[in-house]
Every structure is written in C-alpha cells, then in structure tokens.
Chain A
Amino acid sequence: MKSLSALRGAAMAALFAVTSLLSLPAAAESAYEAPLPAEINSDPDLCKHVPCAEVVPGADSFSPRKGKPAYVEAYRSEGGQKTLVGYAFLSTDIVDIPAYSGKPVITLIGMDTKGIITGTKILRHSEPILLLGIPESVLTKFIKQYLGKYVGDKIEIGKAREGEAMIGLDAITGATVTVIAQNQVIMRSGVAIARQVGILKVEPKPQIKFAAVNDTLSWAQLVDEGSVRRLTVQPEQLGMPRAAEPYVDMQYGYLNTPSVGRSILGDNGYQSLMTQLKPGEHAIFIISNGSDSFKGSGFVRGGIFDRVQVGQDMDAYTFRDLDYLNLWGVKAAGAPAYKESAIFIIRDPGFSAAYPWNLVFLANKRDRETGHRDFVSFSDEYWVPARYIEGGRPKVVKPDAPWLKVWKARAVEIGLFVALLVAVATVYANRDALTRRSTRKNKWPVNAFKYTFWIISIGFVGFGMLAQPSITQVLTWFHSLLFKWQWELFLTDPFIFLFWIFIILTTFVWGRGLFCGWMCPFGSLSELIYKVAGAIGLKRFQFALPMKWHNRLKWIKYAVFFGLLAVSVFSMGLAEMLAEVEPFKTTFLVGMFNRAWPYTLFVAVLLGLSIFIERPFCKYLCPLGASLAMPSTFRWFGLKRKQECNTCKACAVGCGSLAIDEHGRIDHRECMHCLDCMVLYTDEHACPPLAQERKRRTKAGLPLTPIGKDGYYIPIKPVPAAKA
C-alpha cells in the first residue's frame, strides 16, 4: 500500500512537473471543483471575488453588478476620466447550462464595447473527464479560441459548414458535451449581455401562424412536400470505412404543423402532444436507421443530447433529457421502419417555425492517417411548406457565405488583380515580340513590363492584398487532395485563390519562372533590390556563387520542401511553424516590425544578401519554388535554343538564375524567365552564331534577311530561274 501510494505520488509529481512545463501557467492551478466564495453569486461587487481585469484587459475599475441578467461595466481611468471599455459577466448569472457533470462550468467572460470577446476564464468546473483523462489546459485552450470573436457571430463547434455564416471552433475530443455546453454558455451569455447593453439589436422573429390546412397525408406525401426531410451521414464522411448501411439516416419533421402532427401522431397523439406544449414551444420528431444512434449516450451523463441539435440563424437549440418524449409510432401510411425515434421539444421563444431551421447532427470524425478525432457537423435545412403558413413563407435574406462576402466586398481589387494576371500572361505569351525589340544593350522592351509587374506585385499584391502565395497552401492542398477537398477553405482568400489558378496554369504552360520571376512579391522585392543596388553603383560587390556550389546548394530548397511535407503529415501545426523558413509572413502579412526580432533579423539578412546575390532565398531556400520547380519539368513551352548553344557560353554567362549549364541547356526548374537569353537569341550583335552569320553576309554582300523563329537569319535560297 505504501509503495503504491509512493508510486502514485511520484507519478503525480512527474505529471505536475510535465504539465507545468508544457502548459500555460494558468492551467497549472486546477479549476476542478475550485472553492469559490459563496458571495460570488450574490455580492454586488463581483470583481472583488473574481479577476475581472484578466478578462477585460486595460480595465482598472468595475461597476457593481447591474442589469438582468447581471453584468459589470469595466472602466479605464485616464487622467481622472473613466471611460467604459467593456463588460465582464459571470456565466452562471446569465445561463443555467449544465455541462457533462450536470453542473455548470462557471466562466468569467469579458467583452469590449463593440461586442468582441476580450477574455474568458474558467473559475470552476466539475468535469470529471478533465480531472481524469484530458488535461484541463485543453479546456483553457478551447475557450481561448473565443478571444477576438464577435458575440454576434454564429460560432459553433466543428468545421464551418458550406454556405453558412458560421465560425467553427476546434472541439475537445472526448469532452464534446463540455464544449457544446461551454460554447452555449459563452455565446449565449455574450449575446444576452450584448443585447442588454445595446450592442446587438435583435427583433424577435414572429411565430408561425398556421393556415387553415388540416389534411391527413401519407408518408410519401409528407416527404414530397418537404414536411418530412432526411439527414443521412455515411460512415466515410466520418473517416470510417465505407459500408452498405449509413452511419445515421434520420428522417424528421416539425410536429406543430397540424397536418403533419396529425398525420404522424394521429389525432389523439397530436392533441395530447399539443396540450403538453406551452405556447411558443415546438416539437419535432426524428426516426432513424443506420449503424449508430442519434441519441448517443451523452444525455445519460450530462442530460444533454450531444449528437443532435436544431440551429436557426445564430442560435443553436440543444435538447436536454427533459425535452425528450417518446414517439410511440408513426401513423402516416407507408412510413418506414426505424430503429430509433424521438420527439424533441424546442422551448426557446427565440425559435420560429415560420423561418428555415436546420437539423444538425454532430459527430466525431476520425482522421484515418493520424487517428486524430475532429468534431464535425452535418445539417439539413427544414422549412415548413408555404401552404401551411398563413400568407406563405416570409421573405428571408440569407447571409452570404463568408467567402462570398469577401469576394463581393473586394470585387474591385479582385478585378484589378485578374486584369494584372491576364496582362502578365499576355505579355509573356508575346515575349518574342519584346525580345526581338530588345538587345543585349537595351532590354527595356522586356524589362519595362517586368519591372512594372515587379513593382505592382510588391506594392499591390504583396503589401496591399497580402496575396503572397506560401508553401503552407501547398501543404494544405496535399492534405485536401488526400482527405477532403473543401472549396471554401481556398475560396476564403480570393487573391490567393486566383493567384494559384494563375500559378498552376502558367507553371504547366511555361514553367514556374513566370510566377517566380515576374509575380512573386518577395522574389520581385529580392531581385528589385539586387537591380537597384547594381544600378546605384554596388555592382562591383555583386556576385554569383560558382556553378559548382550553386549546383549543390540549389538542392537545399527541395530538402526544405520535402521536410515540410513530411512534417505536415504528422503535424500540420508544426509544419506551419517550420514554414516560417519563408520570410513572407514577416515581410508582408504581419510586417517586419510587428514580429519578434529573430523573424525580423531573418528577413533583414535575406534582403540584405539580395543586394549582393541575385535572389538568394529563391535559389537556395524557397520551398514554394521547389514545389513549383518539379512540375515545371513538364511545362509545354520552353525557351528556345539553337544548336550552337551547346558550346556557346554567351547566354550562360549572363544568366542571373544560373539556370544554363555548361552544355547550354536551360534548367526550367531554376529559370526565372528573365528572358535575357531570349533577347540574345535574336540579337544579331550579341548572339555569337548570329553575329558570325551577320559578319559573313555583310562581307559577302548578302542581304540580312529577318531572323526566323529558329533564331537564325532566314536562309537565302536562290529561287530557281523561271522556266522560260
């Protein structure tokens, strides 16, 4: 016994040491059944007992409890002047939502005057699961997700669903009841206070007025008219092997509608149900088949059904065990057999059946590769058919999907950006016209365009639109391709989205050089610095690495790319952290002076080196370039070469990308499409074979025919004498 307890003591100590090393300091002190002063619930001076200042940063004084439900105002004092900076409130003052344990998680929430959540702190919880299995820091981390979120937004657990204005939060696997409850606690508390203080203005939706329709329908008729709808989830949608039987196959409907209620429950059943409902309460029924249960067992422990809920606008209505009634049977003719059934009652007056609502099924999705469990939700929209509503369905303006909102909001910039991309591609497609006009001494016909595009891409694309493509997007793609492709994931940033279309197309048509050499904001910045430095007299300090070293070092970027790809398989988070090897985030997205000094230093070194070496980052480090270089092997149109290029070194000497090898071959994986060699190609003074021919013809008094597509003077072929 003694040794056992000693062992346990040691284990506890070790655990404590590890958690205190790994976790945030706040998590080290457990909130499990933390003793709270009794006055916390009643004392007008709430902030005497709880750390209000922690959740409203910057506030230094707080009002007594006010309002119903109660909250406190948070003030900042400046020069004797008190300004209202936000609100703090105790969850249990506002909502009574028990979590897994059946007891509420007592949470202190801070919100600024615009309704942005500024802080969350768990004062006390009774969740055994967080004591026994999952570290409490996970819950602390979970509620940190609310920081900076607007209480008026629809925030739900799980991934955002397509076509709905909703912000998804990462759940805690194994503690779904806790987080569902906690999400409701925070959002409902926030909304309640935001409404009270006037941040949110909410008009209650009018309740449904049923038209005088009262017929008895068969199951098929109910399904046809949309009074009974279906929500099916297949096992593969949850990362399980495909199976003949769906995971759940729910059919459901709204029972208050007289025709539907009577058809499903029979006259007596409908009457009996309606007498049990108070005014403003609603009943839905669900029947279900499938390999799993829509009820689950969460309601057994915490009283909450954690697999189904009803959503309407930003509100989610969960069902407690006390909102459940037995569905004794379905009277409608032709109703299917079912394994499981329920009648759920929505008691919240905010719900209106006159408007569309969703039945939501919540589940765990298992990532087959990593075994990681993710919280996902599936939903189906229900709207009482118009014929049952007096005056038909009310007009509903549905909010655009977030990505669509962004596209609409930035339509002008998007238009300009598309024009830019088209312009770049058009210019490059007509590069021959430009290179022919250029000579080794005067490359302006090409460079005028290229430098313009550089400047636009640095200023407009990079700093303006923050549209710097990154290796993380490539990694995300890989994962999306392998697991689940979600357009909305990519559509949320229209510039990146369009940019990638451009990149993919041009890479396969011409090679990656067009993006890297002409459009990449960081690459452009890097080479622009090199060019400017050269122009202002630093040319003598500029150099290229010897080919021998270049040929070795250029492989680093491939190693970086594959390293990141490998890491991302195990941890996307870590891969994203390691992707800081790209200076893009520091340069454009965050700003060089908004980051910790090592990041800034890194960017400074790279850009500093660019003064002396052309594109050092692009050549040796850039994993994005590496990832694009590989498909460039399969470009359709390469740059042109002549037979003499095998021995002639003229282009190679001038190749800033060091992409031309000793045999004169252009490595399209390294080529930045500066087109210098193409200028030479038609430059009758600079291209050795052409110059030789020019001299020969001049000597021989032959005419200088135009230079053909093959880069040679069009041969002079004596026309056979016309036959007499």
Chain B
Amino acid sequence: MKDDIQMNQVDAMPDPSRRRFLNTAALAGLAGAGLSVGLSACNKQQPAAPAAAPGAPAPAAAPAAAPAAATSDMHIHLKPGELDTYYGVWSGGHSGEARVLGMPSGREIKRIPVFNIDCMSGWGITNESKKVIGTRPDGQLKYKTGDTHHIHGSYTDGVYNGKYFWVNDKIHGRIARIRGDVFECDAITELPNVQGFHGIFPDKRDPVDQAVNHTTRVFCGNEFHIPQPNDGHDVDDPKKYYCLFTCIDAETMEVRWQCKIDGNMDLVATSYDGRFAAANQYNTEGGAHYEDMMSAEMDACVFFDVARIEKAVKDGKSFTIGASKVPVVDGTKAANPDPKTALTAYVPVPKNPHGVNASPDGKYFICSGKLSPTTTTIELAKVADFLDGKLDDIRKAVVAEVEVGLGPLHTTFDGRGNAFTTLFLDSQIVKWNIDKAIAFSAGDKNAQYVVDRLDVHYQPGHLSATMGETKAADGQLLAVGCKFSKDRFLPVGPLHPENEQLIDIRGDKMVLLADHPVHPEPHDFVMVKRDLIKTKQVGTLEDHPMALKDPKESGVFREGKKVTVRIASQAPAYSLREFEVKVGDEVTIYLTNLDKVEDLTHGFAIPKYDINFICNPYETKSVTFKADKPGVFWCYCTHFCHALHLEMRSRMIVRA
C-alpha cells in the first residue's frame, strides 16, 4: 500500500485496473448523452459497469476487494450486560421512522415512529400522536407516508447536548423533532411551499447574539423546485419554479423565515460560529429532467448569511407566498449583486455536488462532488471575506479541490485533520488529509493527501464518525450506510436489506469491523457519546392534562353522545373492569399508566375497533372512535407487564 500511495493520488487504490476502467467509463458516460452508470439508488440495475463494457479486461473486483486487512482490537461484540459506548441515532428512510442503535455493537434499541403509523406504540392511532402528525378536519391523519433522510442533534458549544434531534420528511416537506430525553417525536412542522425537503441542519451558535451558544434554529434545504405558490399556475414553465431555504425555530418549531434562491438544494451544513448555513446545489440549471440537471460543468454551494437574512426580515424586506404567512426574502443572485449586502453567496462547485459537511475545527465546509471525482474544500473565513467585500472572487474561497475517487457523496471527520468520504461508484471510503489536500491544491504536488482507502459493501451513501460533526470528534468508529447489500446477508427474496458497516478509524488504516443488515432505508445518522444523553426513566403524570392522578377518578362520563372513559392501569389490572357505552356514541378513552416502575409499559387493544396503543409509566394516552358495533369487546393489555399480564383485561360493553 505504501507504494500505491507514492503513486498519483487518484491511482492510489488496491485495484488500479478496475479503478482506471471505472474512471474512464464513468467519465465517458457522463460526458456523453447523460448515461447514468447506476449512481442513482433508484436505478436498480446492476451498476457494474464492467458488464456493459465487453472490451475491458475482466476485473476480479470482488476478490480484490477483500484485502489482507489490518486487524482491529476494538471491542464491538459486547458481553451480555455490557452497554454500548455511543447512541447511534439513525434515520429510517421511507419507513418514515427514526431509530436508536447502540454503538459499536450495532444493536437496534428502539424504533421511533415519526411520519409512519406504528401499531406497536399506537403512533398515528392515539389522539396525542395524531395531533403531532397533523390531521384533516375529519380527524383522519393528513399524511400516512414519510421519508426520513437526515437526522441531527441540538448543540451546546459545538457539541451535542442531547436535548433534541431533528429529522426531515422528504416526501411531504415536514420536519420532526425528537426529544432526546424520551426518544419520541414531539413536534412536526410542515414547511410551506416546499417539495423535496432534503438537507437539514441545526445551527450551533446564534449569529445575532453570540452569547447564545446553543442551537436555536434548524435549517432546511429544498430539493424540488415548484411554481410558487403551487396552485396550478405556471406548471408548464419550469423556469418559473424555484426553491425555498427554510429556517425553523428550534424551540417553537415554527417557521421563522424562508429564502428564495436560484437552483435547488440538497444537503445542509452550518458553521460553528453561527454565521453561515450552506446547501449544496446540483441543479443550478433549474432543469426539469435529469439530463438538464447535469448540463452545467459547475453547480454551487449556496451560503446563507443568517444574520443578514434576519435583519432583512426584520426590516420588512420580505414577501409571502400564497396562503403562507412566513416571510420570504429573496436570495437569488439577481437580487444580491453587492456582496457586502448580499444575503447569499453562491460558491461554484463542480458538477452536481451532494453532501456538504463542516469540519470539526470550524474552518471548512467540504462539498462532495458526486459526478465530479473531487471534494471541494471551502474556507469559511474566505466566504466571510467575500461577503465583507474583502475578497473579489467567491471561487477563491475554495482552498482545495482534489480528486478522491468516483462518486464522492458525503464526508465525515476524525478530529485529527482527516476527512472520510464515501465513494458511491467505487464502493469505497477514502480517508484523506485536509491540510495536505489544501497544500496539494496550492501547488505542492508531492502532498500525499490520500491516507487510506477501504472497500465497503456496496455503494455507500452517508457515513458518520463518532461525534464527527461536533467539535469533539473523537475518531473512534465510523459507520457507513451502504445502499446495496447484495451477497452480504442471507437472501430473503428480491428485497435486500441495506448494509450498515462499521469501521475502526483509530489508526492510519481503516479496519472493517462488522456488517449489520438494516430495514430500508436509513440515510443519515449521528453517533453521540452516551454520557451526553440523559433519558427519563418514567413519564411525568402532569404532562397530560387528562392524566388520572388516582384510580378513583376512573369512570365513564357522558355528555350527550360524547362519552369519555377514564381508565388507570396498574399491573395487572385496569381500574375499570368493565365500562359501558351505547352504539352511536363518540367514545374517547384516556388511559393513564399509574405504575411508577421503570419499564412497566402497558398496552391497550380493542378488538374489532382497530385500536392498539401503549402507555408508558406515568404517561397518559387517548383514542377516540365511534362505537358502531354492539357487543362485548375485551380490551386487553398488549404490552407484557406482569405475571398476570394475560389476565389484564377489561370489558367494553357496547349496548345496542
């Protein structure tokens, strides 16, 4: 490997023949009529370009992909009773959920229903969860689908504080907040006039008040441009479509402002000093079809000067779109000719970049090239200089642009000056040194910026190192979300799980540690040191206005056709052994779990009424339904609670 590194950076790979072939084939394809070589996850065709290139020498890709790897002594197979070191907080993709994994073991600890409906917990069934998800006037859920991509936690002084995590719903343009003390979703906000809500990132410091050194805003990137408002006008004129960058208040979850931009946005990053948010743009062309979207050689990374935008909003330099009351400022290039007053700065970045990630030292944003085999390192101080009128050309903010491999998508950091970038097409992780890349770009052609490469299986999307997006990046463990698992697990039919791979990044060499199958399809994840998370052991009775403080308060309370049933659960019994309603009643059942014992959750299922939900200790949950079937319905506890769990039931008697 030493010899390889002595070679040209781009060729410093375990299998140069394969590397070269892919390189030429891919570039040829991209340069041509827009032939996709399987870089899209939606293209389920075998992306192995070799098969499509009969003339090429047969590369023994798979065998070569298993190098005599360095070994790792990292303790990942935990003994019974041993606890993980990190909380892995995972998005769940189009399962609509989020998950908590223990790291480094990779054990799934919790699934957090967010945009989906979950009959285990009753998410989407209870009134409380419906209220969070949002309902139509008839009480039905507004949306039943969701697609979570990116998940990030709240910060204090540049490090996670464990208070909140935010995750997006790409389909319907919603942002959800997950409380770090209970790992449950407590708020969902639908972004106005946004389709394809992609990237998301909390700020780390207040740009206006530097004393506020914690997260107060969350920024949302918008991928799909649409007519504004999207009410049927201009549908045939894509040139009039545009995208909105959105700022959400971290506490109230209300939309603070939006910013109209040129082009679209995918991933989002924020600076440690709070001044900037940025989003990569792959469709600065504003195309409606993909070949149009990659016609330009350069796209951009758009920077938002948050303080200036908020001043503009304050000064009333904003407009609204359609029914939305949210102030929108104009961040297009045309509206911001003078950098000294500009709300935005568009840093040119080659060809359809994807991820943008902030380095732990706070100095750089690194854009991954996707269709360009490069990463682009943008120095924030220079962006600031440009906006302050001290730099004539915004492109000069790019301090390094080096080739790393094919299909770079996302980057993470070890806190020791190294970046790790996924190479989707190469199915590799490349470890490269930021300072040396800058030196290389500055002309020092002897600078060996690539430190190591590691094959992963296969086609990685996001990757994240432990604490990698914080000042406290500790360079221990790297997780990579491989979009294809192919032959890595027992086959279970056409649908394959994704493959989350774990990598030891403590040494110079990366060492592959483990494969974990995951239910499709997590995109992004963060790994948070366990001592930063403080969870509640049981709920707080007072949190719910209808909580029963005492089983004596149980009963059936009727107001005309509206019937309220209040029940307490204490293992192994419900406080009402039976309760009566009449056909035609609108019944609301409140269940309070009065067992103040950790892990003593009760369930409540009503046969034939399609109801099940759980109620954690000292929590209250409710359901509302129409009693439309007469008879006896045995409500029972679905969540194992006690030696007499089976006996824990109550009769709902619906009188005809």
Contact = CB atoms under 8 A, between A and B. Distances in A.
Contacts of A276: 534
B598 interface: yes
A268 B81 CA distance: 25
B534 A102 contact: no
A340 B597 contact: no
B467 to A, nearest CB: 13
A295 to B, nearest CB: 10
B297 interface: no
A101 B641 CA distance: 11
Given A98-B597, A300-B599, A321-B597, A340 B81 contact: yes
A458 to B, nearest CB: 60
A521 interface: no
B571 interface: yes
B117 interface: no
A128 B643 contact: yes
B70 interface: no
B598 A303 contact: yes
A158 interface: no
B608 to A, nearest CB: 27
Contacts of B643: 128, 132
Contacts of A132: 643
Contacts of B552: 38, 41
A61 to B, nearest CB: 28
A100 B483 CA distance: 48
A322 B531 contact: no
A102 B570 contact: yes
Given A38-B552, A322-B538, A340-B81, A303 B597 contact: yes
Nearest to B598: A321
A322 B571 contact: no
Interface in B602-656: 642-644
Contacts of B600: 102, 303
Given A102-B571, A326-B83, A321 B531 contact: no
Contacts of A101: 571, 642
Interface residues of A, number: 23
Given A102-B570, A322-B537, A322-B538, A328 B595 contact: no
Most B CB within 10 A of own CB, among A300, A303, A340 = A303
B111 interface: no
Given A98-B597, A300-B599, A326-B83, A128 B531 contact: no
B530 interface: yes
Interface in A301-344: 302-303, 320-322, 324, 326, 328, 339-340
A145 interface: no
Contact of B531 (A102, A302, A328, A340): A328
A239 interface: no
Contacts of B597: 98, 102, 302-303, 320-321
Contacts of A324: 537, 598
Interface string B76-89: 00000101000000
A226 interface: no
Contacts of A340: 81
Interface in B511-558: 530-531, 534, 537-538, 552
Nearest to A328: B531
A322 B597 CA distance: 7
A362 B640 CA distance: 29
B596 interface: yes
B598 A268 contact: no
Given A128-B644, A322-B538, A102 B530 contact: no
Contacts of A57: none
A268 B531 contact: yes
A91 B570 CA distance: 19
B571 A321 contact: no
A327 to B, nearest CB: 10
A326 B82 CA distance: 11
Contacts of A326: 83, 530
A321 B534 contact: no
B598 A322 contact: yes
Interface string A272-308: 1000100000000000000000000000101100000
Contacts of A320: 597
A269 interface: yes
Given A128-B643, A128-B644, A328-B531, A321 B570 contact: no
Contacts of A303: 596-598, 600
B570 A103 contact: yes
Nearest to B571: A102
A615 to B, nearest CB: 62
A102 B83 contact: no
Given A272-B531, A322-B537, A102 B595 contact: yes
Nearest to A275: B534
Interface in A412-457: none
Interface string B585-603: 0000000000111111000
Interface in B173-218: none
Contacts of A302: 597
Contacts of A339: 81
A300 B600 CA distance: 9
B538 A269 contact: no
Most buried by B among A101, A269, A302: A101
A300 to B, nearest CB: 7
B573 to A, nearest CB: 8
B100 to A, nearest CB: 15
A322 B531 CA distance: 18
B599 A321 contact: yes
Interface string A102-141: 1100000000000000000000000010001000000000
Contacts of A269: 531
Given A272-B531, A300-B599, A328-B531, A321 B83 contact: no
Interface string A350-388: 000000000000000000000000000000000000000
A129 to B, nearest CB: 9
A322 B598 CA distance: 7
A102 B572 CA distance: 10
B109 to A, nearest CB: 13
Contacts of A103: 570
Contacts of B570: 102-103
Contacts of A98: 596-597
A340 B82 CA distance: 8
A320 B596 CA distance: 10
Interface in B61-106: 81, 83
A229 to B, nearest CB: 24
A313 to B, nearest CB: 28
Given A268-B531, A340-B81, A322 B644 contact: no
Interface string A38-54: 10010000000000000
B81 A328 contact: no
A17 to B, nearest CB: 26
B392 to A, nearest CB: 45
B596 A322 contact: yes
A41 B553 CA distance: 13
A321 to B, nearest CB: 4
27 contacts: A41-B552, A98-B596, A101-B642, A102-B571, A102-B595, A102-B597, A102-B600, A103-B570, A128-B643, A128-B644, A268-B531, A269-B531, A272-B534, A276-B534, A300-B599, A303-B597, A320-B597, A322-B537, A322-B538, A322-B596, A322-B598, A324-B537, A324-B598, A326-B530, A328-B83, A328-B530, A339-B81
Top 6 nearest A-B pairs by Cβ distance? A321-B598, A303-B597, A322-B537, A128-B643, A328-B531, A102-B597
Given A102-B600, A268-B531, A276-B534, 17 more contacts: A38-B552, A98-B596, A98-B597, A102-B570, A102-B571, A102-B595, A102-B642, A103-B570, A128-B642, A302-B597, A303-B596, A320-B597, A321-B599, A322-B596, A322-B598, A326-B530, A328-B531
Interface of A: 38, 41, 98, 101-103, 128, 132, 268-269, 272, 276, 300, 302-303, 320-322, 324, 326, 328, 339-340
